[in-house]
Amino acid sequence: MVKIHTCRDIPDQLVKSLRNNGMAMIDAEMTGLDIPKHDRLSLVQICGKDSKEIYLIQPNKKYETPNLVKILGDPKIQIVGHFLRMDKKTLEYFLKPECKINNIFDTKVASRLVRRYTNEHGLASLCQEFANVRLDKKMASSDWEKDISEFTEKEKNYAAADVQYLFLIKTKLETMLKREKRYEIFLKCMKFLDTRIELDNQGFDKIFDH
């Protein structure tokens, strides 16, 4: 049974637990995808390996989350997420200047490298294949800017599900990357992500196209 907590920042005991385990699963909800021109960070979901307790963090108006920043910026803690290109960009912008995420594992990039038998690389597809769970994505368009006390149970469950299966998915994909001898190129992709985000911020997209 998963327990879902709502808060403005993660508690000290979770900081200690995540540091001991060396890994944190994260996701973020935004008002939209035009960050930072029109949209902003609304919610951060985080949990440890066992996924038994999931924390939904709605930062205050000043985006003051010192404990969360400690975890995201700790190089000894691997941050696992799906499509971190957007989440990393958003978190680093709104939780600045202290927040710099370096040790990452992006399940979408990993999926594109090794799941060559499909064109479906979304989180729902990964959950279906590796966890035998069908995600209900109908709540994706929820208003995450309303006060966290107003979230319905369906909204909380939806947000929590975005991190609940990430450790299992990461483990499966990591095994596949190593089996197919693509783990080293994956690590290079993770290092390149900062450059990709910088290109996004400067408005460049298809610079490698013919």
* Segments making up each domain of the chain, as ranges: 3-201
Q: How far is CA 175 from CA 49, 99, 100, 107, 170, in A?
A: 17, 30, 27, 12, 9
Which helix (H) or strand (E) is 159 found in, with range? helix 153-164
46's tokens: 């985080």
CA angle 46, 23, 130 (to 5 degrees): 80
70's tokens: 């400690």
pLDDT of res. 136: 80
pLDDT of res. 137: 72
Closest to 90 in 3D by CA, of 131, 34, 141, 140: 34
The pLDDT tens digits for 81-138 are 999 999 999 999 999 888 999 999 999 999 999 999 999 999 999 999 999 999 887 6
Beta bridge partners of 47: 25, 54
The pLDDT tens digits for 148-197 are 999 999 999 999 999 999 999 999 999 999 999 999 999 999 999 999 99
Burial class for 204, CB neighbours closer than 10 Å (0-12, 13-18, 19+): exposed
The pLDDT tens digits for 16-75 are 999 999 999 999 999 998 998 899 999 999 999 999 999 999 999 999 999 999 999 999
pLDDT of res. 36: 87
pLDDT of res. 84: 97
The answer on pLDDT for 142 being more than 80 is: yes
DSSP codes, 92-129: HHHTTTT----SEEEHHHHHHHH-TT-S--SHHHHIII
The answer on pLDDT for 140 being more than 80 is: no
Q: Which pairing describes strands 104-106 and 23-30: parallel, antiparallel, or unpaired?
A: unpaired
- The CATH code belonging to domain 3-201 is 3.30.420.10
- Distance CA(199)–CA(192), nearest Å, equals 11
